[in-house]
Structure 1
Amino acid sequence: MKRIIMLLLVPLILTGCWDKTEIEDRMFIYAIAVNKVEDKKSESDLKPFYEFQNQNLEVTFLVPNPSKIQGGESDVLEEITVSAQDLPEAVGMIRKKQNREPFFGHEKLLILGEKLLRDEESSKEVLDWIDRDPKKNRSAFVVATKDIKELIGVNPKLEKLLPSYITGILKNDTVVATMISVSLNEFLGNIKSSGMAMIPIIKRQKDEIAIKNVALIKDFKYLGELDDRYIRGYSIINNKLDEGKKLFNYKGNIVSYNITSSSAKIKLNEENGRLVFTVDVEMEGDIEDYLINEDILKSDIIRDLQDSISKQFEIELKEVVRHFQEDIGFDYLNLKSWTKKHKYNLFKKYEKNWDEAFRNAKFNFKVKSYIRRVGVIR
């Protein structure tokens, strides 16, 4: 028996990784920035050396320099920029410039330029290749920006690596209600399932990065921007709000309600050929402000505050839905996928004309807000 076991173990011991790449021979890609440049398309598609005449993409790879890291330098990130026809060619071109093998397993960030997103054909080609490439880190964040070169020039004060700095900000979406983060896997999944996706827009403000508004993508093309003010309501309806803050008016006082939890339950019915969504929201939070001439510890004051918060949240949610229905005109609230999962018969009935059904849908909101803690009191 022992001999049999030994014979079985021999292949495992002798087998090696014939195609392995040593770590010192790898070039770790931490971020990729892709944008479209002016068309350089030749007049005739039949000319030789086609790829050298149609380099319409500018691709920047952000790579940490090991020697600078070991030396303790502050600016350790290297930029490798190439012009290419597509991303596979761009990856091939950096192999001509660098002696290390590109490795994407540690990629943290994909930056998409506005010019690329406004070109449906180019955007589709780029995202299609990224989706099919098994080497890509699907948990990397995706962002949009207007000026990639200006963005890459930022030198973070408290972080050596720009990609780590940006992803660190994006992770704050769990406590900042007016901000979202989107992974590559989520972004590509939304594009494939509904043709629509949302990604945060980042830009440079002096020596810092600011996340402002959200880019709306439809059918691989930039549709427009969603203002920050609508993100909190969007997150509440989609059960994506973990924590956050809302200012509300109570008897002339501006009071801060710090949300600690939120839960939304959606119900759907049909009335007279019209979809009717009823959204029940329950949330808990804390009050930290001092209220003049109010004994905030009294139960009747607490109930009055809770009712006021609930009513103002209802007003906000109604305005968020109105904005998506009337101003944007498309279901970025992901209600189509919810309906397919929970009300399949209604989904099949309205599937072919879903955008119209969404615009004509009726929404009812019922919000219950609870105050669990009170901070500053008299």
Structure 2
Amino acid sequence: MHKGRLLWLLLPSLLLTGCWDKKDPEDRAFIMTLGVDTAAAGCRFTFAPANTGEGEARTYAAVSETLAGAVAQIDGQMSRKTDLGQMKTVIFSGEILEDSQKLERILQELERSQTVSEKVMLLATTDLAADCAEAVMEADSKTGTFLWDFYKNTAGEVAVTKGIDLDTFLTERMEQGGNGVLPRISVQEGKLELGGGVALTQERIYALSNAEERGYLFLLGEAEGALLEGVYEGEILPMEVGKNDVRYDFALEDTDILCRVTLPLEGTLQGGEGFFLSTEKREQIETVFEEGIREEIAHTLGIADRAKEDLFGILPRLYRQEPALTEGISGEALWQALRFEIRPELELKDMGRKR
């Protein structure tokens, strides 16, 4: 009787304690960047946490077949619980991207995770992902949001690379038969370098330079902010791309499929003697830049031509727009049948003014 009465007296105080197993922020290691490299026994996962305490934060790593297994290893060695709920970026090494089985397993685990956001940013490197994670810590050891901030605030303004999140990448890979393009990150003399891209197929990867990535952005209609240089009458003229749209049209021509890519563009000259130009000279300068853009896009498409695969998402457009042209034809045969015609249509909107 007395024991029952005591239990009822203690019950309210037990309920008032809240979630007894809830951890305070200082008891958690909030991972901001994850680097994934290949290893003999699975993958090497490098965790870069935010610095939530005194002193400098440091990276730590574990080798496991799965991300969950790596987290469990780390949790058994540290006093703080590893928390992936705030993770902003995942960096894949080239070796991981070329191993389709390992890559698929990790992507599926990230997709199914109850803690990892579907908006986590994905990046690729031809270096070690661990080195990139270390460089991220040095660039921003406090918040760990350096890469996130770059792609949110800067990349779209300068058009040197395209940010892509987990959800978008998974959708594009499904549409493109496992192919896709990720933004590239590298480490040069200990410093992070952001720009270019990595195109991947089921079997290998193709590193894209800044110019090749820019050609890809033109194909997407997302090259606004790109800075181009053209030579006119011996003078180098820089031009910033303003509005950039793109239109794809497909038509059967003999045994080929013509893919006409029309690019309505606006641009602004940034320097030189391009002030108060006559209509004739304006049109001549527009032609110079149009030819440069045409060559740049053709060079980017040449990478896919040598790979003999659609690296840049052209075929899904064909399937959607002209399904009758694709009936009974394999994707490989369709890609071989495609012939491209690139048509930039540039209009210089603001020639600038002297101050």
Smaller-chain TM-score bracket: 0.7 to 0.9
1:269 aligns with 2:251: yes
Q: Which residue among 45, 53, 70 is the counterpart of 1:59?
A: 45
Matches within 5 A, 1:65-76: 65-68=51-54, 75=56
Structure-2 change in CA distance of 1:296 and 1:341 (3 Å): same
Contact 2:33 2:91 in 1 (8 A): yes
- Cα deviation, 1:77-123, whole Å, max 9, x if unaligned, reads 33221122322211221221234443322111101123322333322
| Structure 2 length-normalised TM | 0.84
Structure-2 change in CA distance of 1:244 and 1:155 (3 Å): closer
1:336 aligns with 2:318: no
Aligned residue type for 2:300: V
2:22 corresponds to: 21
Q: Distance in 2 between matches of 1:26 and 1:157?
A: 21
Q: Which residue among 169, 175, 180 is the counterpart of 2:157?
A: 175
Offset, 1:157: 7.3
Aligned residue type for 1:216: A
Give the SS at the match of 2:53: helix
- Cα deviation, 1:319-363, whole Å, max 9, x if unaligned, reads 3333322x222112211211222222223343xx22232233112
Give the SS at the match of 1:270: strand
Contact 2:84 2:116 in 1 (8 A): yes
Tell me how many residue pairs correspond in the alignment: 337
Identity of aligned residues (%): 15
Contact 1:156 1:207 in 2 (8 A): no
2:298 corresponds to: 318
Structure-2 change in CA distance of 1:372 and 1:17 (3 Å): farther
Aligned residue type for 2:337: N
Aligned residue type for 2:87: E
Aligned residue type for 1:80: Y
1:42 corresponds to: none
1:203 aligns with 2:186: yes
2:5 corresponds to: none
1:78 aligns with 2:58: yes
Q: Distance in 2 between matches of 1:336 and 1:368?
A: 23
Residue range with higher mean Cα deviation, 83-92 or 151-160: 151-160
Aligned residue type for 1:208: K
Give the SS at the match of 2:161: coil
Matches within 5 A, 1:110-121: 110-121=90-101
Q: Distance in 2 between matches of 1:17 and 1:244?
A: 54
Q: Distance in 2 between matches of 1:241 and 1:17?
A: 52
Structure-2 change in CA distance of 1:156 and 1:26 (3 Å): closer
Aligned residue type for 1:36: T
Matches within 5 A, 1:82-97: 82-97=62-77
1:347 aligns with 2:349: no
Offset, 1:212: 4.8
Offset, 1:258: 0.6
Contact 2:31 2:83 in 1 (8 A): yes
Structure-2 change in CA distance of 1:286 and 1:319 (3 Å): same
Residue range with higher mean Cα deviation, 333-342 or 222-231: 222-231
| Structure 1 length-normalised TM | 0.80
Q: Distance in 1 between matches of 2:309 and 2:350?
A: 39
Q: Distance in 2 between matches of 1:17 and 1:238?
A: 51
Offset, 1:259: 0.6
Q: Distance in 2 between matches of 1:311 and 1:29?
A: 46
1:35 corresponds to: 37
Q: Distance in 2 between matches of 1:227 and 1:180?
A: 13
Structure-2 change in CA distance of 1:295 and 1:301 (3 Å): farther
The higher relative CO (CA closer than 8 Å, separation ≥ 6) is in 2
Q: Distance in 2 between matches of 1:19 and 1:344?
A: 59
1:44 corresponds to: none
Aligned residue type for 2:44: E
Q: Distance in 2 between matches of 1:213 and 1:144?
A: 10
Structure-2 change in CA distance of 1:92 and 1:201 (3 Å): same
2:228 corresponds to: 246
Matches within 5 A, 1:100-119: 100-119=80-99
Contact 2:48 2:137 in 1 (8 A): no
Q: Distance in 1 between matches of 2:47 and 2:137?
A: 18
Offset, 1:283: 0.6
- Cα deviation, 1:258-279, whole Å, max 9, x if unaligned, reads 1111111111111223211112
Offset, 1:247: 0.7
Aligned residue type for 2:145: S
Q: Distance in 2 between matches of 1:101 and 1:141?
A: 23
1:259 corresponds to: 241
Offset, 1:32: 1.3
Aligned residue type for 2:314: L
Structure-2 change in CA distance of 1:250 and 1:377 (3 Å): farther
Q: Distance in 1 between matches of 2:231 and 2:148?
A: 34
